[in-house]
Amino acid sequence: MRRAASRAEVLIELELIRAPDALREPALAALAAAGVTDGHVTVELVGEARIRQLNRAHRGHDLPTDVLSFPLDEAGPAPGPRELGDVVICPEHTEDLVEAVVHGVLHLCGYDHETDDGEMLALQARVLEEL
């Protein structure tokens, strides 16, 4: 049975794969800033070949990139714990892992800097400043 989150209760499960525990705080800060209080998120660090493969398969770009986000459940009701999605980061193509995590997690929360009026990048800057 799924528990409802009270105002003070946060039900976030954050899985780090080949990623340092230091990335936990920025991911949780991005979720909090976006008002997300429940769900599961995975952050994975991968090599250049894997990020290139994912970028080609999902975005049609045959080149490596810094960060990709794969949102799963939308904001509506879910039959179990909400699956927010996965953030995949390639350290070889990322200047700042913390910024990449915040950026990727905000995409999972529905933000899109390519279509909004600067809201996502402003929120990202605020989260980074507060860390």
Amino acid at 114: E
| Alpha carbon distance 108, 27 (integer Å) | 11
Q: What is the pLDDT of residues 57-79, one digit of tens each?
A: 999 999 999 999 999 876 666 66
- Whether 66 is in a domain gets the answer yes
What CATH number is associated with residue 90?
A: 3.40.390.30
In terms of Cα–Cα distance, which of 98, 114, 112, 117 is closest to 30?
A: 98
pTM: 0.88
Give the SS3 label for residue 56. Answer: helix
Residue with tokens 């459940």: 73
Q: What is the pLDDT of residues 13-56, one digit of tens each?
A: 999 999 999 999 999 999 999 999 889 999 999 999 999 999 99
- Whether 14 is in a domain gets the answer no
How many structural domains does the chain have?
1
Confidence (pLDDT) at 78 = 64
- Within its chain, how far is the Cα of 58 from the centroid? 16
List the domain range (segments joined by +) for residue 64: 22-130
- Residue 62's φ and ψ, nearest 5 degrees, are -90, 65
